[in-house]
Amino acid sequence: MVRILIIDDNAELRKLLRQILEGEGYEVLEAADGIEGLEIYKDEPTDLVITDLIMPEKEGIETIRELKMDFPDVKIIAMSGGGRIGPESYLDMAQKLGALQTLTKPLDRKELLEAVRYILK
């Protein structure tokens, strides 16, 4: 079974993503921030990581950088609602660091599933 790790500080969004992805037959692991996400991935590598970029403790850009350094083949989707400078700047940075796809919040279910299928094919 394909396993996906969701890293986001918003518990409601994690729950929604879990429901969508499990409904499509994926196994889902969750982390509330980059620190927890890195620990989970190191203990139980997954087929895909979906991470928010703006989080407390360890934000997504740092998380992507560390994942790619330790696990160069990790597949990552970055997502962001923006913050002060808008989502595009963060998402561009995430792609430069190795995110294979980027999504703007609020997420579109169809767009999310298309990105997941594209990366996992």
pLDDT tens track for 44-84:
999 999 999 999 889 999 999 999 999 999 999 999 986 55
Joined tokens for residue 52: 């928010």
Classified as helix, coil or strand, 91 is helix
What confidence score (pLDDT) does residue 23 get?
Answer: 98
Query: pTM of the predicted model, to two decimals?
Result: 0.95
Q: Residue 4: its pLDDT value, please?
A: 98
Domains and CATH numbers, the chain: 3-120 (3.40.50.2300)
Confidence of residue 90 (pLDDT cuts 50, 70, 90): confident
Which runs of consecutive H residues, i.e. helices, occur in 71-108?
Answer: 87-97
Q: Which two tokens stand for residue 11?
A: 């518990």
Q: Rounded CA gap, 107 and 26, in Å?
A: 18
- What single letter denotes the amino acid at residue 46? T
Q: What distances in angstroms separate CA 73 from CA 31, 107, 119, one per listed residue? A: 20, 25, 12
Query: What pLDDT does 25 receive?
Result: 98
Single-letter amino acid, residue 61: I
